[in-house]
Amino acid sequence: MLSSKMEKALNDQVNAELFSAYLYLAMVAYFEDQNLSGFAQWMTAQSQEENFHAMKFFSYIHERGGRVTLESIEKPQFTWASPLAALEAALAHEQYISKRINDLVDLAIDEKDHATNSFLRWFVDEQVEEEDHVGGIVQKLHMIGTEGGGLFMMDRDLGTRVFTPPVNA
């Protein structure tokens, strides 16, 4: 059984994950508007992944006898100065989510909630991967710039990403 404090914190994380999906969907629209369909495809997969994360939290709350309470989702930013600025915003957002996950782990440890601590380990590892992937794209954009052939090649490469729910999740 979840404590009321843990239940609230996990519900807040459901909202944060849904906001992440919404933010990345706004980036899909931005990239489509910039005629960067590969970037848009990459962000579509990212949005789907965030929805998957939200549902993992949603299901976990129920499994532990808690009640999911959905709150309003904040309106996301919807335009950026450049593709690089959009990806830098995505990286900053992933770092913010990593901090939230770490704070949840700290709360689970403080409350001696071993089941929630175990559940959150998957997300700790996932956030390392998230930051690495987005950070790598940002680094490449710094190298190639946001105009010309390099951007075209990167757009093509990013367009191959599809979201497949992890089997071991």
Per-residue pLDDT tens for 105-139? 999 999 999 999 999 999 999 999 999 999 999 99
Model pLDDT for residues 136-159, shown as the tens digit of each residue = 999 999 999 877 889 999 999 999
pTM of the model: 0.95
pLDDT of 19 over the 90 cut: yes
Task: Check if the beta carbon of residue 50 is closer than 8 Å to that of residue 97.
Answer: no
Q: Which CATH architecture has domain 4-70+78-158?
A: Up-down Bundle (1.20)
Q: Identify the sign of the CA torsion 12, 15, 34, 36.
A: positive
pLDDT tens readout for residues 90-113: 999 999 999 999 999 999 999 999
